[in-house]
């Protein structure tokens, strides 16, 4: 009797599981969109193309879709994730290896739902969880811009992902849990510029892809929007009310920093933030202003900072002090103007921030000018400082310029940065 009842329960459970799996397969399945003849270049007007170019700059498309030394938009750049490496694809309108046969509908489905033309789910290393906010006009302009680029024949290398993450259909489960489809819904309580800024920053600009922390499945934690995240071994500081910046940010400072890549009270954009600001330099100025106004509002009214450890009496650290005096002071005494001179390190969030990651990376690798126009230059010290010296120097900078409680885990951060090497 007992076993009979158990068996009935087991059979029912199997049915439930079976329906669940079948339902998931139906949900996960996406149809292919038939290949289309590419639109002719003169089917797009100049204004649409100009808008498309600005959107591509706001979306950092070229940054991710260009391999080091490769052709623009031809893909093949490794995008590191905690799960493995995913290569960006060729988004030039090449007919065989690019998106030349993608109709506007296919392009829009990729941008808004993360599904490619053939119906395969795309990895969220491609920030479609942000691009989904795009409105119709902007999406059409971006399509026009991409379809009028120079076609390049190129195939990206295979992704390096462990089983089962290399199975694309499981991304349907990820989407079910974490993905919310757009387009952007304006907030009626806010004005037009705020809404424009929110649309751009959270959509095409995907600021949260780096500045919002992620959960163990790689999805941004919505309740911690802009609370600080990771990007390519760098820490992307909090840009909400948790901001650790010594000088409070405001909309003007944000606008200058985003557009020019530096601000005299905040230093310069480096690591993965450097290409973001280089791209924003060619976006529409009113768009960057809207983003700045929105981010300033998310940061809230500046509160006078409590300097918890006000550097009145920093612990003695002769090694650190000596290293600072010989290796850093001449450039960072704040007398040489930015962007080629160094800021006083009190102004750098690298010294006041939550983790020592960026300070260690900047010291080890230095800062190099971007290709093209000259940029800020600082030598790297990876070859001249031992790990012990680097730890003393980092603790010295924190205590004397950060004016915040000492960091824990400096030693392991140094080890991790060393093992990653320069990038």
- Is 395 a residue that touches ligand HEC (CB under 6 A)? no
Least separation in angstroms between residue 208's CB and ligand HEC is: 8
Q: Which two tokens stand for residue 94?
A: 């090449």
User: Would strands 78-81 and 234-236 be described as parallel, antiparallel, or unpaired?
Assistant: unpaired
- Is 212 a residue that touches ligand HEC (CB under 6 A)? no
Instruction: Tell me the C-alpha to C-alpha distance, in Å, between residue 410 and each of 266, 278, 381, 418.
Output: 23, 31, 17, 12
| Residues in 256-295 at the binding interface with ligand HEC, rule: CB under 6 A | 257-258, 266-273, 276, 291, 295
Find the part of the chain contacting ligand HEC (CB under 6 A) among 12-20, 24-32, 124-132, 215-223.
124-132
Identify which of residues 133 and 295 has a Cβ nearer to ligand HEC in the complex: 295
- Is 328 a residue that touches ligand HEC (CB under 6 A)? yes
Q: In three state form, how does the secondary structure of 361-382 look?
A: HHHHHCECCCCCCCCCCECCCC
Peptide bond connecting 183 to the previous residue in cis, omega within 30 degrees of 0: yes
Please list the residues that pair with 66 across neighbouring strands: 75
**109, containing H or E segment:** helix 104-113
Q: Among the residues of 221-356, which ranges form H helices?
A: 251-260, 273-280, 285-299, 318-327, 329-332, 349-352
Identify which of residues 74 and 359 has a Cβ nearer to ligand HEC in the complex: 359
Least separation in angstroms between residue 224's CB and ligand HEC is: 16
Identify which of residues 198 and 269 has a Cβ nearer to ligand HEC in the complex: 269
Binding ligand HEC (rule: CB under 6 A), the pick from 152, 154, 254, 403 is 254
Least separation in angstroms between residue 40's CB and ligand HEC is: 20
- Is 338 a residue that touches ligand HEC (CB under 6 A)? yes
Task: Let me know how long the chain is.
Answer: 423
| Residues in 226-245 at the binding interface with ligand HEC, rule: CB under 6 A | 231, 234, 236-237, 239, 243, 245
Least separation in angstroms between residue 370's CB and ligand HEC is: 12
- Is 175 a residue that touches ligand HEC (CB under 6 A)? no
| Residues in 20-59 at the binding interface with ligand HEC, rule: CB under 6 A | 56, 59
Least separation in angstroms between residue 351's CB and ligand HEC is: 6
- Is 341 a residue that touches ligand HEC (CB under 6 A)? yes
Q: Which two tokens stand for residue 9?
A: 């329960």
Q: Which two tokens stand for residue 367?
A: 């800062």
Identify which of residues 12 and 336 has a Cβ nearer to ligand HEC in the complex: 336
Q: What is the CA radius of gyration of the chain?
A: 24
Identify which of residues 264 and 411 has a Cβ nearer to ligand HEC in the complex: 264
Binding ligand HEC (rule: CB under 6 A), the pick from 83, 179, 184, 340 is 340
- Is 148 a residue that touches ligand HEC (CB under 6 A)? no
- Provide the 3-class DSSP secondary structure of residue 77: coil
- Is 125 a residue that touches ligand HEC (CB under 6 A)? yes
- Is 417 a residue that touches ligand HEC (CB under 6 A)? no
Total residues contacting ligand HEC (rule CB under 6 A)? 76
User: Would strands 78-81 and 84-87 be described as parallel, antiparallel, or unpaired?
Assistant: antiparallel
Identify which of residues 11 and 141 has a Cβ nearer to ligand HEC in the complex: 141
- Is 363 a residue that touches ligand HEC (CB under 6 A)? yes
Binding ligand HEC (rule: CB under 6 A), the pick from 48, 148, 279, 358 is 358
Q: How far apart are CA 395 and CA 61, in angstroms?
A: 38
- Is 142 a residue that touches ligand HEC (CB under 6 A)? yes
- Is 298 a residue that touches ligand HEC (CB under 6 A)? no
| Residues in 72-111 at the binding interface with ligand HEC, rule: CB under 6 A | 79, 86, 88-89, 91, 99, 107, 110
Q: Which two tokens stand for residue 132?
A: 């989904």
Least separation in angstroms between residue 45's CB and ligand HEC is: 19
Q: Which two tokens stand for residue 275?
A: 């290409």
Taking each helix axis from N to C terminus, what angle separates 357-365 and 410-420, rounded to the nearest 10 degrees?
Answer: 40
- Is 144 a residue that touches ligand HEC (CB under 6 A)? no
Is the CB of residue 197 less than 8 Å from the CB of residue 293?
yes
Burial of 36 (0-12, 13-18, 19+ CB in 10 A): middle
Instruction: Tell me the C-alpha to C-alpha distance, in Å, between residue 105 and each of 32, 97, 179, 389.
Output: 11, 19, 20, 57
CB atoms within 10 A of CB 71: 18
């Amino acid at each position: 009797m007992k076993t009979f009842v158990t068996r009935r329960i087991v059979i029912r459970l199997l049915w439930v599981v079976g329906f669940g799996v079948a339902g998931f397969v139906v949900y996960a399945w996406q149809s292919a969109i038939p290949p289309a003849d590419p639109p002719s270049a003169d089917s797009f007007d100049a204004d649409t193309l100009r808008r498309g170019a600005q959107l591509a700059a706001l979306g950092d498309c070229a940054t991710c879709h260009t391999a080091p030394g490769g052709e623009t938009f031809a893909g093949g750049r490794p995008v590191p994730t905690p799960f493995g490496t995913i290569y960006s694809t060729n988004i030039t309108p090449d007919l065989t290896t690019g998106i030349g046969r993608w109709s506007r509908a296919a392009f829009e489905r990729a941008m808004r739902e993360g599904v490619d033309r053939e119906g395969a789910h795309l990895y969220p290393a491609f920030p479609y969880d942000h691009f989904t906010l795009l409105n119709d006009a902007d999406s059409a302009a971006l399509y026009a811009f991409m379809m009028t680029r120079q076609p390049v024949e190129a195939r990206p290398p295979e992704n390096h992902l462990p089983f089962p993450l290399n199975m694309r259909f499981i991304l349907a489960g990820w989407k079910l849990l974490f993905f919310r489809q757009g387009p952007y819904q304006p907030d009626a309580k806010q004005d037009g510029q705020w809404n424009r800024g929110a649309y751009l920053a959270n959509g095409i600009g995907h600021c949260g892809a780096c500045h919002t922390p992620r959960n163990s499945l790689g999805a941004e934690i919505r309740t911690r929007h802009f609370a600080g995240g990771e990007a390519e071994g760098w820490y992307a500081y909090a840009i909400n009310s948790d901001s650790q910046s010594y000088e409070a940010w405001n909309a003007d400072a944000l606008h200058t920093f985003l557009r020019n890549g530096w601000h005299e009270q905040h230093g310069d954009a480096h690591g993965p933030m450097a290409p973001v600001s280089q791209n924003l330099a060619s976006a529409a100025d009113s768009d960057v202003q809207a983003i700045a106004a929105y981010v300033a509002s998310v940061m809230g009214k500046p509160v006078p900072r409590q300097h918890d450890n006000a550097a009145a009496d920093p612990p003695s650290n002769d090694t650190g002090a000596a290293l600072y005096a010989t290796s850093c002071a001449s450039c960072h005494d704040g007398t040489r103007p930015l962007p080629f001179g160094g800021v006083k390190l009190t102004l750098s969030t690298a010294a006041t921030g939550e983790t020592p990651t960026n300070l260690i990376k900047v010291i080890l690798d230095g800062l190099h000018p971007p290709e093209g126009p000259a940029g800020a230059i600082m030598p790297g010290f990876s070859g001249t400082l031992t790990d012990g010296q680097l730890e003393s120097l980092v603790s010295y900078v924190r205590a004397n310029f950060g004016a915040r409680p000492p960091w824990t885990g400096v030693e392991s951060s140094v080890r991790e940065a060393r093992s990653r090497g320069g990038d």
